[in-house]
Amino acid sequence: MALDLEPRPATADPGAAEAPRGPSAAAWPLATGEQAHRAVALLASLGLFGVAFATWSTIISVPATGIASLLGFAGALALVVASLTVRPERLVWVDRALLVLALVLLAAWAASNLYSQPGYGTDEAAFEQYAAQLLLHGHDPYGANLAPALSLYRVPIQYATYLLDGGAVHTLGYPALPVLLVAAFIPLTHGVQSVIAADVVALAATVVAMYALLPRPWRSLAVLVPIGLPILFGYAVAGVNTIVVGALLVVVAHRWSGVGAGGRLSRGDVARSVFLGLAISTQQLAWLVAPFVVIGIYLVRRTELGPRGAARVCVRYAGGALATFAVVNAPFAVLGPRAWLSGVLGPITQHAIPYGQGLVDLSLFFHIGGGDLAAYSAAGLLAYLGALVLFAMCFSRLGRGAFVIPTIALFFTTRSLAEYFMTLVAAVTVSLVTTDRDDFTAASRPDTSRRLRAGGRKLVGALAIAPSLGALGIALATRAPLAITIVGVQTNGQLQSVWQVVARVTNHSTRELAPEFATDFTGQATTFYHRLSGPRLLGPGRSARYVLDAINHGSMPGVTTPFLLQAVTATPATISSSSLFVPQPYTAEMQPGYVDGVRPSGTAVTFRVQLRSTYGGLVHERGVKIALGQVIYGQSALIPAEASVNGAAQGETPVYGSTNGAGVATFHVRDSSPQGQPIYFQSWIDAASGYPFGYSSIVSVLWQR
């Protein structure tokens, strides 16, 4: 028997048919709207639990954040219940309470992070703050050397932006608005973390703008998207200026398909135009979005106004945006036109090393291509142009993607950072909720376009996509010019880092190359290594042995961390990578992991050192040489300890043992002459590789007379 899920219409005769169990068809639209409102409010309320928990982490060091966290937990719990139970007309109060609670938690969350990480994590943020300081002191920030900002604002040096020629970015590379914005915050923050403060305020503005602009049933998205998705907060406290772009584009995205209705720009349209100008005055990402928005407005208005009327609307709209850009940037362009132009075009012309979460990862980490990085750049440009063509051709289907489709091109380039895709989610959401699908489906096309659609739309679409795929194919098919093999490393023992790498490098290309080397153990290449030995220029078909030293601690891979050795060249633009090098195939685990209680003088403590894989599994390998060391960490210096390990002389360290068939080495430790302080024990593997690895946790034991 088939199961009938369709509600049957009610009849006048109660006995004629069974009454429907669900709501009638006429009731579904209202029920759907209410249920959607409740669902969005519920999800936003649940999202605040994570924010409250993250804020709670500084309850001791910053008690105010702990209070905010407790209020957050209580408020979020109450809002979860309210979103499920209040009468429909009361849901508006749930939305308002969500907005207030979210802003309070955002402020507390930011304070918690600023306390935990008082330095900047990106050179972008440090450069913006330094440039703003220069501006406040009457200096042109464009063209100035901003390198001192890295140490001044405590940016880990490995997080600088390095170039293919071995240099590093040290000048401002953005339009002027971020500098002006940060300059306004410096007096308020006393010059500390002004960029992050500005970004957090921009994120809060995103929340408020979304709340004000979204229709009532969807207002809780203003909390769910910018704050409930913690990735945006992460970018804000990293000082990434695309957070500001995302906030500005929220206004641009609101009912953007209605711009120019009736052939004139309303006050709201003028505001959208100004906000688009502010966005392109902030970061180059907005430059990619703007043409899609303008073309989309033209295609929508062409239905109503015809080609000329639609063009006039777009010229006025784009003119307002460009005028805003000119007002913001004109003082700097006039003061130093060459320096300003070089700065705003810097990300395009500076030839930074590859980095990101896009297709270039195939060359960086999977040995596919790498011999023609310029082809990736060409693929990105061609993908953008192809996307623009497809957007115009298939506007009825693709129109709502105006704020995300442009970023697809960046997935093809060598600098394909995920922030480009993710920081626009608020604008994408507002565009979806506030635009009318009929605006896109009703966009008219000339008769020639209809004939083209009937006969060759698929062909034109293929032709639009083919050039970018061809360039990508070249990028992936051109193999890396250098074969790199790591033949040895030097470590710094208990610091558990690799400070020197020895590699064999062969040039398989037909050109003489000047490689610059760096390690990569986080997905982002470190500072370039110092070439202690090995030729600066490696001829075609030649091989050489390179000894490379890390020049700062942050660029040293841990012995617990697999890493790559990468080499880049500027002419031609290439990158080559070694195979993954694993300094530590397994680790040592001391058991017991702690000794509970004071031990009397002369009594023994037995440590069993178990081999474990990097994922924690037991390793049953016999004959592995294990070391056990002892030391006293005094208040102002290291003190030699005087315990005896496995009957060795008192104070001897390290003492060695070997694993049995179960992968376990046993050490018996006693102290007959206690020194009044805990002795700290640590084990490690002293393998035939020539360097120690697999350091265990430190276990302290206190003996007393």
CATH assignment of the domain containing 653: 2.60.40.10
> What integer pLDDT is reported at residue 444 of this predicted model?
53
> What integer pLDDT is reported at residue 158 of this predicted model?
85
Domain check: are 154 and 44 in the same one? no
Domain check: are 194 and 317 in the same one? yes
> What integer pLDDT is reported at residue 300 of this predicted model?
95
Rg (CA), the chain: 31
Q: How many Å apart are CA 457 and CA 396, to the nearest integer?
A: 14
Domain check: are 75 and 44 in the same one? yes
Domain check: are 599 and 520 in the same one? no
Q: How many Å apart are CA 516 and CA 163, to the nearest integer?
A: 10
DSSP track, 337-383: HHHHHHHHTHHHHS-BPPEESSTTHHHHHS-S-BS-HHHHHHHHHHH
Assess contact for 153 and 125: CB atoms under 8 A. Answer: yes
Cβ atoms within 10 Å of 156's Cβ, excluding its own = 18
Q: Confirm whether 668 is domain-assigned.
A: yes
> What integer pLDDT is reported at residue 24 of this predicted model?
43
Q: Confirm whether 24 is domain-assigned.
A: no
The CATH number covering residue 564 comes to 2.60.40
Assess contact for 72 and 104: CB atoms under 8 A. Answer: yes
Q: Confirm whether 608 is domain-assigned.
A: yes
Specify the amino acid at residue 680. Y
Final residue before a domain boundary, out of 397, 428, 444:
444
Domain check: are 71 and 149 in the same one? no
Cβ atoms within 10 Å of 97's Cβ, excluding its own = 17
Q: Using N-to-C axis directions, what is the helix angle for 177-189 and 194-213, rounded to 10°?
A: 110
Q: How many Å apart are CA 274 and CA 616, to the nearest integer?
A: 56
Q: Confirm whether 364 is domain-assigned.
A: no
User: What's the domain count of the chain?
Assistant: 4
Domain check: are 91 and 135 in the same one? no
Q: Confirm whether 5 is domain-assigned.
A: no
Q: Confirm whether 365 is domain-assigned.
A: no
> What integer pLDDT is reported at residue 615 of this predicted model?
86
Q: How many Å apart are CA 601 and CA 599, to the nearest integer?
A: 6
Angle at 135 between CA 133 and CA 140, to 5 degrees: 125
Mean pLDDT by 10 residues, the chain (705 residues): 40 43 43 83 96 94 94 97 95 96 96 88 94 96 95 90 96 97 93 92 98 95 94 93 97 97 96 98 98 97 94 97 98 96 94 96 96 97 96 91 96 95 95 91 59 63 90 97 96 88 97 97 95 97 98 91 96 97 90 92 96 92 95 93 95 96 97 94 85 92 93
Instruction: Measure CA 280 to chain center.
Output: 21
User: Measuring CA to CA, how many Å separate 606 from each of 609, 656, 658?
Assistant: 10, 14, 15
Q: Confirm whether 399 is domain-assigned.
A: no
Angle at 271 between CA 266 and CA 277, to 5 degrees: 130
Domain check: are 590 and 539 in the same one? no
Domain check: are 55 and 156 in the same one? no
Q: How many Å apart are CA 48 and CA 104, to the nearest integer?
A: 11
Domain check: are 199 and 324 in the same one? yes
Domain check: are 170 and 246 in the same one? yes
> What integer pLDDT is reported at residue 13 of this predicted model?
45
Final residue before a domain boundary, out of 577, 608, 638:
577
Domain check: are 154 and 79 in the same one? no
* Sign of the CA dihedral with 299 first, then 300, 305, and 311 last: negative
> What integer pLDDT is reported at residue 27 of this predicted model?
41
Quote the longest CA-to-CA distance of the chain. Answer: 102
Give the range of the structural domain holding residue 210, as residue numbers without chain letter.
Answer: 123-357+417-444
Paired tokens of 324: 């805003």
Domain check: are 497 and 513 in the same one? yes
* Sign of the CA dihedral with 251 first, then 255, 259, and 265 last: negative
Q: Confirm whether 193 is domain-assigned.
A: yes
Final residue before a domain boundary, out of 116, 151, 184:
116
Q: How many Å apart are CA 109 and CA 590, to the nearest integer?
A: 37
Per-residue 3-state assignment (H helix, E strand, C coil) for 71-92: HHHHHHHHHHHHHHHCCHHHHH
